[in-house]
Amino acid sequence: MPPRRLKILTWHVHGNYLYYLTQVPHDFYLVTDTERSPHHTGRSGTLPWGDNVFEAHVEQIRDMAFDVILFQSRDAWEREQHELLSPAQLSLPRVYLEHDPPQEHPTNTKHWVQDRGVMLVHCTHFNALMWDSGVTPTCVVEHGVKPMAPASYRGDKAEGIVVVNNLKRRGRRLGLDVYLQAREAVPLSLVGMGSLELADAGGLGEVENHRLAEVVSQYRFFFNPIRYTSLGLSIIEAMMAGVPVVGLATTELVTVIRNGGSGFVDTRVPVLVDAMQQLIAQPSLAQAWGKEGQRVAHERFGIERFVRDWVAVLATVAG
């Protein structure tokens, strides 16, 4: 338990991550507006928010008391804090949670937060390696996952499942071409926001957060076609359910998956196709990889470790 309970103002940027973050024993106030515009949606969606999660309307924030401001987007840092916060609130302890690796140059991009008084938290060691964090103090808090509903691997659908939001619009970085190429040789289905735009290529639509693990666990394996991103929570959630993972050997994923143990990663799409075909032909192999992946996920990404890490970060910042 933390030494004292903090009131933390933040934004709703990534729903699942925010849900896991709110397992930390502090009170979280989500910036909200009347229109429920992006990043201002508050306690929205189907996530099972706890009683430590509140809403803070943009017109009332200046009159509210907080202990920490937790930023999660560039716009909130560069513009919105100056519009919403009082002078006293602007001097509060501040944390910036960076969810992604740099989107411009992969190694030479300086992070926009350049402030010795802010803690810049990266969610993977790969992200921390690639960003030029400059003068800003940094640390890494790896993901933590708490299953929202019981899900056990079945794998009775002899095909793979892909979970990517808006894959058609986001294109090569998220692996649209990789997905389409692999799907020519292996049966694959796609779920996520905007996936019906690819209905003719296996797009099935969006699945509610609390149902996703159950749906994914029906498939023989989970395929991650993403070239360049952070470590997707959907990968860890699949591993937690015992689903074997096949994916590109890029970014943080190479430190999570051991080939022939907890899954299979490679940079060659034909080699990945061979691995997926092997899993389809050998259900027992898929079950063995999934069981080992489940062990790895619980050991490395358990919610207890995640909570401890965030308690320590917040105690350092607000202590």
Q: What is the pLDDT of residue 260?
A: 94
- Is the residue at 292 inside a domain? yes
Q: Which of 96, 85, 74 is nearest to 31 (CA)?
A: 85
Q: Residue 2 above 90 pLDDT?
A: no
- Residue at 214: amino acid letter: E
Q: What's the rounded Cα separation, in Å, for the pair 47 and 86?
A: 31
Task: Report the share of the chain in percent with pLDDT over 90.
Answer: 96
| Residues 139 and 19 reside in one and the same domain | yes
| Residues 309 and 267 reside in one and the same domain | no
| Residues 246 and 116 reside in one and the same domain | no
pLDDT band at 150 (very low <50, low <70, confident <90, very high): confident
Q: What's the rounded Cα separation, in Å, for the pair 313 and 310?
A: 5
| Residues 248 and 267 reside in one and the same domain | yes
Q: Residue 102 above 90 pLDDT?
A: yes
Domains held by the chain: number: 2
| Residues 122 and 199 reside in one and the same domain | no
Q: Which domain holds residue 53?
A: 7-145+303-318
**pLDDT tens by residue, 256-307:** 999 999 999 999 999 999 999 999 999 999 999 999 999 999 999 999 999 9
| Residues 134 and 221 reside in one and the same domain | no
- Is the residue at 150 inside a domain? no
User: Where residue 25 sits, what CATH number does that domain have?
Assistant: 3.40.50
- Is the residue at 152 inside a domain? no
- Is the residue at 104 inside a domain? yes
Q: What is the pLDDT of residue 152?
A: 93
| Residues 210 and 165 reside in one and the same domain | yes
- Is the residue at 1 inside a domain? no
Where would I find the H helices in 56-102? 74-75, 81-84, 87-90
111, 170, 279 from 98: Cα distances, Å: 9, 19, 35
| Residues 130 and 163 reside in one and the same domain | no
| Residues 202 and 98 reside in one and the same domain | no
pLDDT band at 229 (very low <50, low <70, confident <90, very high): very high
User: Where residue 175 sits, what CATH number does that domain have?
Assistant: 3.40.50.2000
**pTM for the model:** 0.95
78, 276, 278 from 158: Cα distances, Å: 48, 10, 11
| Residues 268 and 280 reside in one and the same domain | yes
Structural Rg of the chain based on CA atoms? 20
| Paired residues of 140 in beta bridges | 122
8 alpha carbon, distance to own chain's centre: 20
**Residues 242, 252 contacting (CB under 8 angstroms):** no
Mean pLDDT of all residues belonging to the chain:
96
- Is the residue at 2 inside a domain? no
| Residues 233 and 270 reside in one and the same domain | yes
| Residues 141 and 164 reside in one and the same domain | no
